[in-house]
Amino acid sequence: MKELNMSRIIRGFDRSLRFRFIFAQTKEIVEEARIIHQTSTTATAAIGRLLTQAVIMGTELKGDKDSLTLTLQGNGPAGKLIAVADSHHHVKGYLEHPEIEIPSREDHKLDVGAFIGHQGVLSVVRDYGLKEPYQAKSPIVSGEIAEDFAYYYANSEQIPTFLVLGVLVDTDYSVKAAGGLLIQAMPGVKDEEFSDLEECVHNLPGFSNLLADLSMEDILSRYFAKMDFEVLAEDGASYHCDCSEEKVRRALKSIGNDELKSLQEENENTEVVCEFCNTKYSYTKEDLQIFMEERGTKE
């Protein structure tokens, strides 16, 4: 799948080693997701926030085949949302009901919380290639996504965390800006030592508008200058789906001969559509016959 221009990730810390930060600019990623899934405005904001969080959390993956899967299942009309990241700063996402739109809030902001739902389950699965992946679950507390993951960090990982996620949708429904900023206390840092950080955070105006108006460097310089921060690493990130004909063939072969026979009898051509990138894979009756024979079935 063709990738658009790369989004960006900046990682760093303050020189007194009180906190670390991960700053992601994800406009290109979220715009690609919007185009693929043909999302409503609120759906764009929702999947954009989750994809941005996956970019941020994905920076901790080190192994070549490590992966991270984030899932939100709330009681709102959105249904299930999924974002997957790998160690190469690739992400992909899916939402069950991209077409649904709901009214904005009274302050005219998109009501992502109502779209996701104010109750439900947030799931984090880290697969390091071991026997069992690491899985943690946390309740959805608002549906606004940033608040839900901040709660996850505080309770599941017990790390004092400030997290902001934002998506700004333009008048033509394209993504004008998107990104996220994670700031976490380093081990041993006391609550009172976080006071400078709190001051910086309280001085942040609308985050999505900042992303639209200023560069990442300007945002860091303007609002975190007092923190005496240092950039540790910069990386690109992109929307990328790793589906392939080989993987689809393998999946079809795994469903069993009875199911393959049913597909063969019911359809002239069997079409499989990737839920992350909408790529279509088509197989004839003859293809399915070959799959069954490869499974050792004799007609």
Residue with tokens 């990138």: 277
Query: pTM of the predicted model, to two decimals?
Result: 0.92
Which domains are delineated in the chain? 7-239 (3.55.30.10), 245-294 (3.90.1280.10)
* Inter-helix orientation angle 27-37/41-58, to 10°: 130
Mean pLDDT of 198-224: 83
% pLDDT > 70, the chain: 94
pLDDT band at 195 (very low <50, low <70, confident <90, very high): low
The model's pLDDT over 221-234, given as tens digits with 9 standing for 90+, comes to 887 777 788 999 99
Residue of higher predicted confidence among 249 and 179: 179
The model's pLDDT over 40-80, given as tens digits with 9 standing for 90+, comes to 999 999 999 999 999 999 999 999 999 999 999 999 999 99
Sequence letter at residue 94: Y
The model's pLDDT over 98-128, given as tens digits with 9 standing for 90+, comes to 999 999 999 999 999 999 999 999 999 999 9
The reported pLDDT for the residue numbered 153 is: 94
The reported pLDDT for the residue numbered 228 is: 80
Give me the chain's average pLDDT, please: 91
HEC-encoded secondary structure of the chain: CCCCCCEEEEEEEECCCCEEEEEEECHHHHHHHHHHHCCCHHHHHHHHHHHHHHHHHHCCCCCCCCEEEEEEEECCCCCEEEEEEECCCEEEEEECCCCCCCCCCCCCCCCHHHHHCCCEEEEEEEECCCCCCEEEEEECCCCCCHHHHHHHHHHHHCCCEEEEEEEEECCCCCEEEEEEEEEEECCCCCHHHHHHHHHHHHCCCCHHHHHHHCCHHHHHHHHHHHHCEEEEEEEEEEECCCCCHHHHHHHHHHCCHHHHHHHHHHCCEEEEECCCCCCEEEEEHHHHHHHHHHCCCCC
The reported pLDDT for the residue numbered 297 is: 47
* Residue 230, CA atoms < 13 Å, CB-side half-sphere: 6
CA distance 44 to 60: 25
Mean pLDDT of 26-34: 98
